[in-house]
A and B are shown apart, each in its own frame.
Chain A
Amino acid sequence: DIQMTQSPSSLSASVGDRVTITCRASQSISNYLNWYQQKPAKAPKLLIYAASSLQSGVPSRFSGSGSGTDFTLTISSLQPEDFATYYCQQSYSTPWTFGQGTKVEIK
């Protein structure tokens, strides 16, 4: 199985900050990497697919980059509604796997 490792596990940031979350795959996954946002007691929401494609309706302050084994999710200017947990997920090969999550908290 492909292992997905996110860093950091949690971070504290202020409104307006630029935030970067990284995700590393245990083997090359090309660009088969997706990012989700999850708020407490809610289902995850797709933000970015195919490493860098913005899902329809998602604000442009979210962006993704990377290929192969190293990927990043960037929030250019953190907004109050962005405080949540973020997960990466690979769909290069089954079984599909998720990272352990990064919790973004208010500083």
Chain B
Amino acid sequence: QVTLRESGPALVKPTQTLTLTCTFSGFSLSTSGMCVSWIRQPPGKALEWLARIDWDDDKYYSTSLKTRLTISKDTSKDQVVLTMTNMDPVDTATYYCARIKASAATFDYWGQGTLVTVSS
């Protein structure tokens, strides 16, 4: 059974760095073809893809956010970490992690999401 769970601060101040952790089970990121992504959704708005990390440690980032994002993995802990620097109120959103079904290039399992509010 595949599960993913996001964790991190619910509130961050402007200019601070956000660190989110995705803890998963039911699959391994050391298995060929496995990938994990981060996606976010501001309140009442559309989904926005942020980053992806692959089993072979290849990494991909949103064009508009790539200077602020870092994605990493710890296969021994079954975790993927996303950091986002210089947080701004417009970054207020629910942040999701999701597994990628590599054979079909799709997000087949999602975490429940974690709401991050950026406010002083």
Q: A95 to B52, alpha carbons, bound, how many Å?
A: 9
Contact B46 A91 (CB under 8 A): no
Give complex CA distance A45, B111 in Å. Answer: 10
C-beta contact mask, A55-75 vs B, less than 8 Å → 1, else 0?
A: 100000000000000000000
Query: Which residues of B, 44-74, contact A by the 8 Å Cβ criterion?
Result: 46-49, 52, 60-63
Chain A-chain B contacts (Cβ-Cβ < 8 Å), number: 60
Q: Which residues of A contact B37 (CB under 8 A)?
A: 96
> Which of A32, A43, A49, A99 lies at the interface centre, i.e. has the most chain B CB atoms within 10 A of its CB?
A43
Residues on B with beta carbons closer than 8 Å to the beta carbon of A101: 46-47
Interface bracket on B:
20 to 34
Asked whether A1 is an interface residue with its Cβ less than 8 Å from the other chain, the reply is: yes
Binding site for A on B (CB under 8 A): 37, 46-49, 52, 60-63, 96, 101, 104-108, 110-113
